[in-house]
Chain A
Amino acid sequence: MILVVVIVFLALVGYGLGRSRAKAAAGNDLASLHSRPGYHGWHVFLLGAGPAVALVLLWLIVDPLVLRWSVENSLPPEILEQPPEMLDFFIQDVARVADGKLPHGGMTPALESSAAYYGWLDSISTVLRYVIGLLVAVYGLHVGLGHISLDFRARNRVEAWIRAALLAMAAISIVTTAGIVFSVLFESLRFFEKVPVADFLFGLEWSPQTALRADQVGSSGSFGAVPLFAGTLLITLIAMAVAGPIGMLSAMYLAEYASSGFRAIAKPTLEILAGVPTVVYGFFAALTVAPFIRGVGESVGLGVSSESALAAGLVMGIMIIPFVSSLADDAISAVPHALRDASLGLGATRAETIAQVIVPAALPGIVAGFLLAISRAIGETMIVVMAAGLAANLTGNPLEAVTTVTVQIVTLLVGDQEFDSAKTLAAFALGLVLFVATLLLNIIALHVMQTYREKYD
């Protein structure tokens, strides 16, 4: 870190030098420079700091790997033959001892000698890093300063750097997607080595409790995800049954009837519903809606479990009203006025116009909005975690507790866990299903919108 600061400081000195040299080269006639002096300065700065900082950061990433590799090569075979977890543990202790801390395990001669070796390598690496980093920086500055002349195109060079940096930033989105795909996919593949894909996708039994010892009763957890899919579907259906009609009717009213004053108040108010954090909806579902439904159920003689699919679904429905309404509103508003006027001019009432002209014309947008709302409902986590329950019941009864994909991901991963058990890996497999499902819904929605949209121009 200090090294980076020193390099940047050096490069700033280079900026000042570059600027003044460019000014000096121009003499009294600044216009004779191709680029303004500041660009010369920045060019020197970039040549000084850019490669050096990149090298140091790369070094910091590669350094632990190289160190580990060389320490492992120096270890006696009896330590190397340990299981990988123990070896990991040993290496961590080596690093701790070399750092002057106490090891987690006991102190052994092997540990001590390895730590000494590790410390020696580490100090060499640090010295080398400083020397090479500074050398690269100074060399860069030297080259940069050497470039300065009246017709050197410093501005074009600096702008090329800026463009490259912007492109690199834009590419982070690709890195993120790749990160999601690979992290989720690799862990899922490891899971499918332990549990066959067909068992996971079509199994009817979900009880991920794997035993600590192999000889325990019920030691093999079962990973049939159908109850989770059914639960997710049930809650999504309930949510859409709430959000669909309310969202659609609101959108139609806002787009076709409401005065602009009413619209200016009502639309942002509806959108507040989408801005409320989901954990607040979870609280509302668990502590207000669920007891209320339970009370109503008991008063009419129905047994309602305290964590019912109905409560979670209703509240989730409230949450996605604005997704449905604002997308439907956009679609309805995009229908050209000529269609509306023609229908009204023929004597149809507004309601008839909406039902028979506007909605059919806006249908692709409305369908896409519904699909996006469904994808939102499937991926929603906090409401179901707090209100839907953990028991994997395969049931269509909304008054019982069901569980969903997201709830199980949370339950499997919260708390201490080892990363290799089927239990934790199952969470990644569920994550993969979730990712693929929402991605598909998204793609279908886009496709519907683009393919079936009527072109009126």
Chain B
Amino acid sequence: MTDATRGMVEPQAVGRPLERLLSGPRPSFDEANELVRKRYAREARFRMMGLGAIIVAMSLLGLLLLSVATQGYRAFWQTYITLDIALPQEEIDPEGTGGPDVIGRANFQGLINDTLYAMFPDVEDRREKKALRGLVSSGAALDLRDRVMADPSLIGSDHAFALVASDDIDQLVKGVIDRNVAESERRVKDHELAWMDVLEADGRVETRFNTILFTHGDSREPELAGIWGAVVGSFYMMLVTLFLAVPIGVASATYLEEFAPKTRLTDFIEVNINNLAAVPSIVFGLLGLAVFLQVFHLPRSAPLVGGLTLTLMTLPTVVVATRAALRSVPPSIREAALGMGASKVQAVAHHVLPLALPGILTGSIIGMAQALGETAPLLMIGMVAFIVDIPATPLDPATALPVQIYLWADSPERAFTERTAAAIMVLLAFLILMNALAVFLRRRFERKW
């Protein structure tokens, strides 16, 4: 640009004020002032653009968090319908044994249904009866059974039980389903609205804190689905990653930084670690699938395999962080130790590593946080299965929190969307906690030499 413009005859045709000044005839005082004003205007514009870019980026972050929060906060509450359920002795436990196997076989769904039919005696139509039964969740009967089994003295009289409402009713009570929409486009029909109005007038509808979300595994019914199974799966994976990635990473970094002679081998290792850090995470998933599942025949969907895969992925992060921490320990420490007659290993183990520990911990926690949020490689090794049970060991099939988010985000039910956002909030809370811990460690223990 500069070379091209210098040769031009007409100085006015040149775009940039600075170049016009340099290449044209000497301007008059006013002209020069005008040029300076334009240049400063440009300067201010550029500055505003920079500030604007940062503001845009920050507001995008805000928008992201806001959209998650507004979609998800409702999921922390769940609608319950209180019903006075008769628990007749002859239907639940005719012999009065009180044994859990006898009570367990009783038809609690029937009891709930009878209660609802009795409250709305004018419901005759079979389809309407089905809708009436559908006000409470299909999981309510199991819940009722468990409560009666826990306290058999309830049998024989009427008691008020708060039962989990079905997902559509829940959405209605929370105002997500709009009553004013035409009936044909509404998931909750007019007669259901009428029943709910009666129940609400009776004071039988309430929203409580959603404990199910935090204590249950996955479910096909949104109102019964929880993240606990995924949290436990993620926990096992993090355990495996912690016990493998951190020791191996710290050992590799210590070797490379403190002991390694400059050989082809160590150069090769260095290049390798840098390249591994740039490999897309999904490729690590392919590795996990081909090596851990196909060659070693480890169980599919197991947190152990997920942890191993995430270990390989996290290693470069831990190595890089540890090397930086070791490098920040001044050489005088090593020289002093060596000068006092310590061996190289002793100098490193007794002096350098303890001083580098805060940095190592910070880097490890950040690496673990990355691993916790990772989804793609887990899809490759079969952790996307629909798993209801809470995994008891790292070898049981399980899913992980980010994968659960992915699975729920795919579900069409409106109630799952809000649970997805709630699960995201839980995941983000864990990540914020881990990063805050890392920042705290750095602030508290980092030494400036």
The answer to whether A281 touches B289 (Cβ under 8 A) is no
Q: Does B57 contact A (CB under 8 A)?
A: yes
- CB pair A442–B312 under 8 Å, yes or no, is no
- CB nearest neighbor in A for B312: A176
Contact across chains for A253 and B47 when beta carbons are under 8 A apart: yes
Residues of A contacting B260 with CB < 8 Å?
A: 167, 170
Contact A279 B406 (CB under 8 A): yes
| Shortest beta-carbon distance from A441 to chain B in Å | 8
Closest beta carbon of chain A to B224's beta carbon, Å: 22
* Chain A positions within 8 Å of B281 at CB level: 379, 381
In the bound complex, do residue A438 and residue B278 qualify as a contact, i.e. CB atoms below 8 Å apart?
Answer: yes
**Of the 9-residue stretches A119-127, A193-201, A282-290, A388-396, which lies at the interface with chain B?**
A282-290
Selecting from B63-71, B200-208, B356-364, the interface stretch reads B63-71
Q: How far is the CA of A379 from the CA of B247 in the complex (A)?
A: 28
Question: Which segment of B6-14, B103-111, B179-187, B416-424 sits at the interface?
Answer: B416-424
The answer for the CA separation of A385 and B285 in the assembled complex, in Å, is 15
- Give Cα distance in the complex from A282 to B424, angstroms: 11
A249 within 8 A of B: yes
Chain B residues contacting A171 (CB-CB under 8 Å) are 269
Q: Are B319 and A173 in contact (CB under 8 A)?
A: yes
Residues on the B chain within 8 Å of A173, using CB? 252, 269, 272-273, 276, 315-316, 319
A277 in the interface, Cβ–Cβ < 8 Å?
yes
Instruction: Give the CA-CA distance A406 to B319 in the complex, in Å.
Output: 27
Which of B48-56, B155-163, B209-217 contacts its partner? B48-56
Q: Which of B254, B278, B375, B380 contacts A372 (CB 8 A)?
A: B278
CB contacts under 8 Å to B, within A336-391, are 348-352, 354, 372, 375, 378-382, 385-386
With A169-B251, A280-B68 as known contacts, state yes or no: A253 contacts B50, CB within 8 Å. Answer: yes
A445 CB, min distance to chain B CBs, angstroms = 9
> Which residues of A, 105-157, contact B by the 8 Å Cβ criterion?
155-156
B238 at the interface (CB under 8 A from A): no
Q: Would B345 and A159 count as touching, CB distance under 8 A?
A: yes
Interface size on A, residues (CB 8 A): 86
A270 an interface residue at 8 Å Cβ cutoff?
yes
B275 at the interface (CB under 8 A from A): yes
* Neighbouring B residues of A159 by C-beta, 8 Å: 343-345
* Structural contact, A177 and B286, CB atoms closer than 8 A: no
Q: Kindly supply a per-residue 1/0 record for chain A positions 261-286, scoring 1 wherever the CB is within 8 Å of any chain B CB and 0 otherwise.
A: 00000100110110111111111101
Given the known interface contacts A276-B64, A284-B64, the answer about A165 and B375 at a Cβ–Cβ threshold of 8 Å is no
When chains A and B are docked, how far (Å) is the Cα of A249 from the Cα of B51? 8
Verify A249–B283 contact, CB threshold 8 A: no
Cβ-defined partner of A277 (8 Å) among B54, B291, B373: B373
In the bound complex, what is the Cα–Cα distance between A17 and B45 (angstroms)?
78
A80 within 8 A of B: no
Interface of B is mostly: helix
B196 smallest CB distance to A (angstroms):
27
- Minimum CB–CB distance for A121 against chain B, Å: 19
Interchain CA distance A280-B372 in the complex, whole Å: 13
Given the known interface contacts A173-B272, A386-B406, the answer about A279 and B64 at a Cβ–Cβ threshold of 8 Å is: no
Among A163, A280, A354, A372, residue most surrounded by chain B Cβ atoms (within 10 Å): A280
Q: Tell me whether B280 and A442 are in contact (CB under 8 A).
A: no
Q: Mark B409-442, 1 if CB is under 8 A from A, else 0.
A: 1100000010011001001100100010000000
Cα of A441 to Cα of B280 in the assembled complex, Å: 12
Q: Is B294 located at the chain interface by the 8 A CB criterion?
A: yes
Residue of B nearest to A387 (CB): B409
Contact of A434 among B39, B52, B54, B282 (CB under 8 A): B282
Return chain B residues, CB-CB under 8 Å to A428: 286, 290
B376 & A349 in contact (Cβ 8 Å cutoff): no
Say yes or no: A177 contacts B290, CB within 8 Å: no
Q: How far is the CB of B433 from chain A (nearest CB, A)?
A: 13
Task: Tell me, yes or no, whether B255 is within 8 Å of chain A by CB.
Answer: yes
Distance between B441 CB and nearest chain A CB, rounded to angstroms? 16
Q: Which of B272, B283, B291, B369 contacts A435 (CB 8 A)?
A: B283
List residues of B (54-110) whose CB comes within 8 Å of A's CBs. Answer: 54, 56-58, 60-61, 64, 67-68, 71
Asked if A413 is at the interface of the complex by the 8 Å CB criterion, the answer is: yes
Complex Cα distance A284/B65, Å? 9
Instruction: Give the residue of A174, A275, A283, A431 whose beta carbon is less than 8 angstroms from that of B409.
Output: A283
11 A-B pairs within 8 Å (CB atoms) are namely A166-B251, A176-B272, A179-B287, A275-B435, A276-B64, A277-B374, A281-B64, A381-B375, A413-B380, A414-B384, A439-B278
Other than A176-B287, A352-B43, give 7 A-B pairs with Cβ distance below 8 A. Answer: A177-B276, A253-B51, A254-B54, A277-B402, A279-B403, A351-B45, A434-B282
Listed in ascending order, the chain A residues whose CB lies under 8 Å from chain B are 155-156, 159, 162-163, 165-167, 169-174, 176-177, 179-180, 183-184, 186-187, 245-250, 252-254, 256-257, 266, 269-270, 272-273, 275-284, 286-288, 318, 321, 325, 348-352, 354, 372, 375, 378-382, 385-386, 406, 409-410, 413-414, 419, 427-428, 431, 434-435, 438-439, 441-443, 446
Across chains A and B, which 10 residue pairs bring their CB atoms closest together, nearest first? A379-B280, A253-B50, A277-B373, A183-B290, A249-B53, A169-B251, A381-B376, A166-B255, A351-B46, A170-B252
